A = this chain, B = another copy of it.
Amino acid sequence: MARIADIGQHEGQTVTISGWIDNSTRRGKLLFIQLRDGSGRMQCVMRKQNVDEETFEAFKRAGQESSVRITGEIKADTRSKLGFEMQVSEGEVLQSAEGYPITPKEHGPNFLHDKRHLWLRSRRQFAIMKIRHLCVRAIRNFFDDRDFTLIDSPVFTPNACEGTTTLFETEYFGRPAYLTQSGQLYQEAGAMAFGKTYCFGPTFRAEKSSTRRHLTEFWMVEPEVAFADLDDIMELSEDFLVEVVAYVLEHGREYLEILERDLGPLENVQKPFPRMSYDEACAKLAELGTPVDPEDDFGSPHETVLTKEFDRPIMVHRFPTAIKAFYMKEDPTNPLRALGVDVLAPEGYGEIIGGGAREDRIDVLERKIDEHQLPQEAFDWFKDLRNYGSVPHGGFGLGLERLVCWVCGIKHIRETIPFPRMIDRLTP
Interface presence of A310 (CB below 8 A): no
Which stretch in A169-177, A292-300, A301-309 binds the other chain?
A: A169-177
Interface presence of A324 (CB below 8 A): no
Tell me if B170 and A150 are in contact (CB < 8 A).
no
Interface presence of A201 (CB below 8 A): yes
Which stretch in A42-50, A79-87, A103-111, A126-134 binds the other chain?
A: A126-134
Once the chains are docked, how many angstroms separate the CA of A201 from the CA of B334? 42
Q: Mark A283-321, 1 if CB is under 8 A from B, else 0.
A: 000000000000000000000000000000000000000
- List B contacts of A71 (CB < 8 A): none
Tell me if B158 and A426 are in contact (CB < 8 A).
yes
Tell me if A133 and B150 are in contact (CB < 8 A).
yes
**8 Å CB contacts to B: which residues of A119-141?**
120-121, 125-126, 129-130, 132-133, 136-137, 140
Tell me if A97 and B381 are in contact (CB < 8 A).
no
A113 to chain B, nearest CB (A): 11
Asked if A418 meets B153 with Cβ closer than 8 Å, knowing A39-B195, A389-B20, the reply is yes
A363 to chain B, nearest CB (A): 12
Asked if A418 meets B97 with Cβ closer than 8 Å, knowing A20-B192, A426-B172, the reply is no
Most buried by B among A120, A201, A204, A418: A418
Q: Mark A214-230, 1 if CB is under 8 A from B, else 0.
A: 00110100000011000
Interface presence of A417 (CB below 8 A): yes
Chain A interface residue count, Cβ-Cβ cutoff 8 angstroms: 91
Contact among B21, B117, B389 with A66 in the assembled complex (CB-CB below 8 Å): B389
Asked if A147 meets B5 with Cβ closer than 8 Å, knowing A67-B390, A169-B170, A177-B426, the reply is yes
Once the chains are docked, how many angstroms separate the CA of A19 from the CA of B38? 49
Contact among B136, B150, B426 with A136 in the assembled complex (CB-CB below 8 Å): B150
Tell me if A67 and B190 are in contact (CB < 8 A).
no
Contact among B21, B133, B195 with A149 in the assembled complex (CB-CB below 8 Å): B133
Interface presence of A65 (CB below 8 A): yes
Most buried by B among A125, A227, A423: A227
A interface SS class: mixed
Q: Mark A179-196, 1 if CB is under 8 A from B, else 0.
A: 100000010011111111
Tell me if B129 and A151 are in contact (CB < 8 A).
yes
Contact among B38, B125, B227 with A1 in the assembled complex (CB-CB below 8 Å): B227
Once the chains are docked, how many angstroms separate the CA of A384 from the CA of B192? 49
Once the chains are docked, how many angstroms separate the CA of A130 from the CA of B196? 12
- List B contacts of A191 (CB < 8 A): 38
Interface presence of A154 (CB below 8 A): yes
Contact among B21, B140, B194, B202 with A202 in the assembled complex (CB-CB below 8 Å): B202
Asked if A172 meets B177 with Cβ closer than 8 Å, knowing A65-B388, A227-B1, the reply is no
Contact among B149, B151, B389 with A97 in the assembled complex (CB-CB below 8 Å): B389
A199 to chain B, nearest CB (A): 8
- List B contacts of A173 (CB < 8 A): 206, 208, 423-424
Tell me if B120 and A193 are in contact (CB < 8 A).
yes
19 examples of A-B residue contacts, CB within 8 angstroms: A3-B147, A3-B195, A18-B226, A19-B195, A21-B389, A38-B192, A67-B391, A94-B391, A95-B391, A121-B193, A129-B151, A133-B150, A137-B150, A153-B418, A158-B426, A168-B172, A186-B418, A190-B418, A381-B427
The 10 closest A-B pairs by CB, nearest first: A38-B195, A381-B428, A117-B189, A67-B389, A120-B193, A154-B419, A121-B193, A65-B389, A65-B388, A133-B150
